[in-house]
A and B are shown apart, each in its own frame.
Chain A
Amino acid sequence: NAGVTQTPKFQVLKTGQSMTLQCAQDMNHEYMSWYRQDPGMGLRLIHYSVGAGITDQGEVPNGYNVSRSTTEDFPLRLLSAAPSQTSVYFCASSSPLTAGLNSPLHFGNGTRLTVT
């Protein structure tokens, strides 16, 4: 089982550049989300989606865009990278919502992004 796959694993950007972090899952999970992990601040929710065509903002959405055209994919776009976006980004998904709220979250291995 591939689970949740994130690409790339590492990325260095210059301020102002744009890029897309990819996330794909093969578990037919309806719920997908993006977190960033920073020292001293823990994991913070950026955006999430409860199904294809539906997205919503999390705790720290500014500077990031998402879309959900398929159940499998949930890309995160940085339109104009800033040094404050240097972080480790994690994508996570969970079982179909019909299974209820008590479904564990499955994480990818993360993308380490540095913005200079």
Chain B
Amino acid sequence: KQEVTQIPAALSVPEGENLVLNCSFTDSAIYNLQWFRQDPGKGLTSLLLIQSSQREQTSGRLNASLDKSSGRSTLYIAASQPGDSATYLCAARTSGSRLTFGEGTQLTVNP
């Protein structure tokens, strides 16, 4: 059974800092790894999706990497802003219809 873990559970940083969020998974036989953002009282918004054959994906100030052999993915946020404050979740797809989610990292960027 796939298990996904995110560390740390919460992170507080000053504005402008570069930061890394971590995601680990136990079953390396994944199709892809997705990163989501969740704002309070809202649903999840897909940020980046890394296919199993890829090493990284970039979107603006976000960069996600994937190392299947070690069961790890990281989300790098450059030059953080208060608007980046949210909970970030990763999810591993290990079959056609199932994603396994981590519990998320709650990020606070202080002005």
User: Which residue numbers of A lie inside 8 Å of B, CB to CB?
Assistant: 4, 31, 33, 35, 40-45, 48, 50, 56, 58-59, 90, 92, 97, 101-102, 104-110
Interface string of B43-58 (1 = CB under 8 A from A): 1111001010000000
When distances are taken between beta carbons in the complex, the residues of chain B under 8 Å from A56 are 97
A92 to B45, alpha carbons, bound, how many Å?
10
When distances are taken between beta carbons in the complex, the residues of chain A under 8 Å from B60 are none
Query: Known contacts being A41-B103, A42-B102, A102-B32, is A90 close to B43, with CB within 8 Å?
Result: yes
Q: B-side binding surface: helix, strand, loop or mixed?
A: strand
Chain B interface residue number, banded: 20 to 34
Q: Tell yes or no: B101 within 8 A of A by CB.
A: yes
A42 to B97, alpha carbons, bound, how many Å?
18
Q: A-side binding surface: helix, strand, loop or mixed?
A: strand
Query: Known contacts being A101-B93, A104-B34, is A90 close to B51, with CB within 8 Å?
Result: no
A45 to B44, alpha carbons, bound, how many Å?
14
When distances are taken between beta carbons in the complex, the residues of chain A under 8 Å from B46 are 104-106
Interface string of B38-80 (1 = CB under 8 A from A): 0001111110010100000000000000000000000000000
When distances are taken between beta carbons in the complex, the residues of chain B under 8 Å from A101 are 31-32, 93, 96
A105 to B93, alpha carbons, bound, how many Å?
11
Query: Known contacts being A48-B97, A101-B96, A102-B51, is A110 close to B31, with CB within 8 Å?
Result: no
